[in-house]
Amino acid sequence: MQNNTFTRLFVGQNLVVLKEADSTNNYLKELLSNTKPVADGTVIMAESQYAGRGQQQNKWHSAPGMNLTFSLLLRPSFLPLGQQFYLTQAVSIGVVSALRQATSENVQVKWPNDIYFGDKKLGGILIENIVQGSNIKHSIVGIGLNVNQTDFPPEVPNPTSVKQILHSDHDLHQLLSQICAHIEAWYLKLKAGKWDEIRQAYLNNLYWLNQEREFSSDGVDFTGTITGITEHGFLVVRTESEEKEFNLKQIQFLNK
């Protein structure tokens, strides 16, 4: 294990780099269950994960040493439980804005928190909250980004990477540091109660917003337009006949 420090930031100031972990989210969770205190903003980065986890019980594939796989500890105790989607939005915007700066204006967030470049997936975020009473005690923010990998296993759906965008290798630590700085800036806005600004930034960067597209729900394909997101993070889609709210399990985006 190697211990590094960034200057200036609270996010990533305490950086732990592991050669290997099952999942950095699991590693951080275990660290929190030990008696030794873990500093806010601690980042656990692994060169390789052998049991990386994605959303909805999916696996997260990442070629060893080529990409960013890390977890960040936040303590948004100021955020009421029902409002945790604001954390998702703040983190997503932080990652998107860092990647836009490093790569291209075409980086967007696909609801709820996939990172997309055009119609391809550049990365994903898995936030796991540890709740105490009606507040979030710890938030484990796991982030996986394809950076220098260009060959992906066939089971990974429509991936892309920073290298495929820029046609050159990118320094992982430099990119991590930029992402930490951007997440911190948006997290501080969240803490300062600038919820409208966060919501607006999320919508401004939302994949397929206000576009007529194809979706599927309960095995039925339909045409609809994303018109917004509810306070609690449901996707609002307008069809010819109605406006409906969906959770993550209820809707699929169809790239036709």
Contact set with ligand BTN (CB under 6 A): 23-25, 49, 52-55, 58, 60, 69-71, 114, 124-126, 142-144
Query: For residue 223, how many C-alpha atoms fall within 13 Å in the half-sphere facing its CB?
Result: 4
Question: In the complex, what is the shortest distance from the CB of residue 94 to ligand BTN, in angstroms, rounded to a whole number?
Answer: 15
Q: Determine which helix (DSSP H) or strand (DSSP E) holds 155, and give its type and residue range.
A: none
Please name the helix (run of DSSP H) or strand (run of DSSP E) that holds residue 115, with its range, or none.
strand 114-117
Residue 124 beta carbon to ligand BTN: minimum distance, rounded to whole angstroms:
2
Nearer to ligand BTN, 30 or 212 (CB): 30
- Nearest approach, Cβ of residue 247 and ligand BTN (Å): 15
Choice between 147 and 198, CB closer to ligand BTN:
147
Q: Output 121 or 189, the one with its CB closest to ligand BTN.
A: 121
Residue with nearest beta carbon to ligand BTN: 124
- Least distance to ligand BTN, CB of residue 47, Å: 12
Q: Are strands 2-4 and 15-21 parallel, antiparallel or unpaired?
A: antiparallel
Shortest distance, position 41 Cβ to ligand BTN, whole Å: 16
Q: Which is nearer to ligand BTN, 71 or 205 (CB)?
A: 71
Distance from the Cα of residue 99 to its chain's centroid: 12
Q: At what angle do helices 195-204 and 172-191 cross, to 10 degrees?
A: 140
Determine the Cα angle at 91 with ends 90 and 92, to 5°. Answer: 95
Residue 151 CB neighbours (<10 A): 8
Shorter beta-carbon distance to ligand BTN: residue 112 or 224: 112
